[in-house]
Amino acid sequence: MAYTRQYKEFLKPEVRVNKGLIKPRNIYRISTYSGGNPVTKTGDSARYVFVLGKVGKKLHCIKLNEIKPIDFTQFIGKLRDKRIPLTKNQMLHLFLKKFAVDGNALFETYVKNNSKIYSKSLGNYRTYIIDKIVNVWEIRFELDFLQDLFGEVKTPSQQRTIIDEEIDEND
């Protein structure tokens, strides 16, 4: 069963990025891939991926569509580096533990033995050749969603900033 509709509710906002700027430990939506069948996937068949690593011209990813969102958010919570404060409009990988670019240690330590994230029955391990990616969107999360995701309490000054921003938006 694909959980794409459930992911669409919180995998936003999206920022279009150049394929050369794809980084490990981030979430992307690959809408057009010249080696895919079909080439362009949108709607419920969109390709949402968590990039594990980058080796040469190849990306190693976990396709999120077949993973329950609750299982994925619990997985991401285990990767959180709590020494780094959450800030708005930043790439996800900045808040996660550091791993080698190839993603091998991340895969061996956190992914391989987690049957809710990776298994042969899910068939969700993917490799993508960077040169074949045509359109890709990076998922960036709003600060309040990140705080909820990682179970971090908002400080009074953060709450005041959020209130002030909402007031400015309504003016």
Please report, in angstroms and rounded to a whole number, the separation of the first and last CA atoms in the chain: 43
Interior angle at CA 28, CA 99 and CA 148, nearest 5: 75
The helix (run of H) or strand (run of E) holding residue 73 is helix 69-79
Q: Would you list the domain boundaries of the chain? A: 4-143
pTM of the model: 0.84
Whether residue 104 has pLDDT greater than 90: yes
Q: Which residues contact 153 (CB under 8 A, 6 or more apart)?
A: 147
- The bridge status of strand 14-17 relative to strand 58-63 is unpaired
Q: What are 28's strand-pairing partners? A: 49, 138
Q: Cβ–Cβ contacts within 10 Å for residue 22, how many?
A: 20
Q: What is the mean pLDDT of residues 84-107?
A: 92
Query: What is the reported pLDDT for 140?
Result: 86
Interval 131-144: pLDDT, tens? 999 999 999 888 88
